Structure 1
Amino acid sequence: MTTLHETIIPTKRVRRITVLISGSGSNLQALLDASNTPSLPNSQITHVLSSRSNAYGLTRAKTHTPPIPTSVCALKTFQNRNPGSTREDYDCEVARQIIESKPDLVVLAGWMHILSDKFLRILNGEIPPPGAPALPPPKVDSLPSGTEAIPSMKNLSLDDKEKPTSSSQEGDRLEKKEVEGKEETKEANKKTVELPSPPPTQQFPIPIINLHPALPGAFDGANAIGRAFDAFNNGEIEHTGVMVHRVVAEVDRGEPLIVRKVEIKKGDKLEDLEGRIHEVEHQIIVEGAKMVLEELDKEGRP
């Protein structure tokens, strides 16, 4: 006879993923689209951290449903606001912001900085993160050059002030109000979809994976696609690839989790190869995240 204990299936906590980006965020978009679907079940992107304030990936996160919290930690800005700080100090600040987001998994999806050993030690739980740094907002003593102050209504002539509206203008006003009302409803609906709650306590080590557009041991570091393209044209290789790997101190040398070969065709332009690689990237970054989250479940991590 089946007991009550045997029939109850405990509800899994939705896993939280923090994604680090530096650019357009197409790989971030693949993760956003896959979250809480069979491709990446029981998971949600809960924070996006960018090394650039103008990265389009931030817009992808903010306009997602629900909107994803974002932050920016730019190296030069950090060093300018913290005189005497080092590159390692910057990495520690990135680690601090990651831990504040309370993730189960960190995914580097086009993050353009090499992370130091101290960063990894913080995310492994070996040493504590630093306290909040001195990052005051820039002082605004005056309006930016080329910006005009908003004039007072008292100083405007009748021609500058709002004039009586015609019936057509009134219709436009009502239509605008209706559109604004729909937008407010849309925003309210977004807010009703909540992000998953964090774990009671942060679990360590926090797994970190990276997407790299090359095969293991080939073309480590920056411009991997361009170097592979040149190597093919020089007759040195017949194909290239993409991998998702664990992050270690040695650049792109962590344990490969998923590896895919990518064909280079005779007559290809560089952009042809880039497009082919990006298609594979969008697939395996999701597969890699799913693999690591399944490992956490098997470990029984809360």
Structure 2
Amino acid sequence: MDHITLITVLISGNGSNFQAIIDAIQSGELPAKIVRVISNRKDAYGLERAKNANIPSHYHNLVKYKKQHPATEKGIKQAREEYDKELARLILEDSPELVVCLGFMHVLSPAFLDPVKDANIKVINLHPALPGEFTGANAIERAHAAWLEGKIDRTGVMIHDVIAEVDLGVPILVKEIPFIKGVDEDISALKQRIHEVEWKAVVEGVGTAIQQLHLIKGHPLPENGTSSNDSRGRILDRPAP
């Protein structure tokens, strides 16, 4: 029997990329099961997507932790560390093998990453930029501005390992997206094109992460699903740095 990889998904918003993973699992493309989705925003539509797919969900917000500390640099740091420790505890309860961050608007600190790493759980993130470019928030907007200024001629999306340094973990999948003159001046058109690439890339990236876990943990590779297509270990369009 093929090994089924257990996944926890972290979201903050609409969850369209989350839906792409749900669909890929339901179709048999990904040999995985989502054990829980966790959102740091109560109104995230991704929670409704989880409900519709009968996936357990949890709302875990930073605000209540901030209220327990003074609004100083030290107090905010303490609040974030306590939040991250509790987030790690929640995830460890489900014993997943993979955590997938999809538009999760929270920087994960060592208070989260260390206990999760100690439990041999892989953490990956989808970021709408190429490796080393436009790290952090508003990556699409900043890339768009750079293109309008003639500084770049392409952007992209990547799936990468999560480390303490924001969006600087090793990429496991990269997809370049050239800018199109006469189209991408409208940033909404660019965002739509990027999102369409993301929906496919996130499935391929999760598939690659699953295969990496199979190799590390010695599970047999599935006879169908991710191992039956050419995405295994593949970087789209260009080699990772």
Q: What band does the TM-score fall into relative to the shorter chain?
A: 0.7 to 0.9
Count of residues in Structure 1 that have an aligned counterpart in Structure 2: 211
Q: Could you say which residue in structure 2 is the equivalent of 1:239?
A: 154
Q: CA offsets, 1:72-113, max 9 Å, x none?
A: 111103333688752111111111111112211100001000
Confirm or deny that 1:22 pairs with 2:16: no
Q: Could you say which residue in structure 2 is the equivalent of 1:146?
A: none
In structure 1, distance between residues paired with 2:41 and 2:68: 16
Confirm or deny that 1:206 pairs with 2:199: no
8 Å contact 2:65–2:80 — kept in the other structure? no
In structure 2, distance between residues paired with 1:301 and 1:49: 28
Of 55, 58, 68, the residue aligned with 2:44 is 55
Q: Which amino acid aligns with 2:141?
A: G
Q: Which amino acid aligns with 2:133?
A: A
Q: Could you say which residue in structure 1 is the equivalent of 2:171?
A: 256
1:298 Cα deviation (Å)?
A: 2.0
TM-score (norm 1): 0.67
Confirm or deny that 1:86 pairs with 2:86: no
In structure 2, distance between residues paired with 1:58 and 1:301: 33
In structure 2, distance between residues paired with 1:80 and 1:94: 17
Confirm or deny that 1:281 pairs with 2:193: no
In structure 2, distance between residues paired with 1:119 and 1:290: 24
Q: CA offsets, 1:241-273, max 9 Å, x none?
A: 100000011110000110011121123201111
TM-score (norm 2): 0.83
Q: Which amino acid aligns with 2:15?
A: G
Q: Which runs of 5+ in 1 are unaligned?
A: 1-10, 126-203
In structure 2, distance between residues paired with 1:208 and 1:225: 23
8 Å contact 1:36–1:44 — kept in the other structure? no
Structure 1 segment 77-226 matched on structure 2, within 5 A: 77-80=64-67, 86-125=79-118, 204-226=119-141
State the SS of the aligned residue for 2:50.
helix
In structure 1, distance between residues paired with 2:158 and 2:122: 16
State the SS of the aligned residue for 2:99.
strand
State the SS of the aligned residue for 2:169.
coil
1:13 Cα deviation (Å)?
A: 3.5
Q: Which runs of 5+ in 2 are unaligned?
A: 220-241
More displaced 10-residue stretch of structure 1: 76-85 or 252-261: 76-85
Q: Could you say which residue in structure 1 is the equivalent of 2:2?
A: 12
In structure 1, distance between residues paired with 2:48 and 2:28: 25
Q: Which amino acid aligns with 1:73?
A: H
In structure 2, distance between residues paired with 1:113 and 1:75: 9
8 Å contact 1:18–1:103 — kept in the other structure? yes
Structure ID, larger Rg: 1
Quickly say closer, same or farther: Cα 1:74–1:53, change in 2 above 3 A: same
Of 177, 187, 200, the residue aligned with 1:270 is 187
Q: CA offsets, 1:102-135, max 9 Å, x none?
A: 211100001000111221111011xxxxxxxxxx
Quickly say closer, same or farther: Cα 1:100–1:301, change in 2 above 3 A: farther
In structure 2, distance between residues paired with 1:28 and 1:22: 11
In structure 1, distance between residues paired with 2:19 and 2:59: 18
8 Å contact 2:173–2:205 — kept in the other structure? yes
Q: Could you say which residue in structure 2 is the equivalent of 1:154?
A: none
In structure 2, distance between residues paired with 1:210 and 1:54: 21
In structure 1, distance between residues paired with 2:52 and 2:26: 17
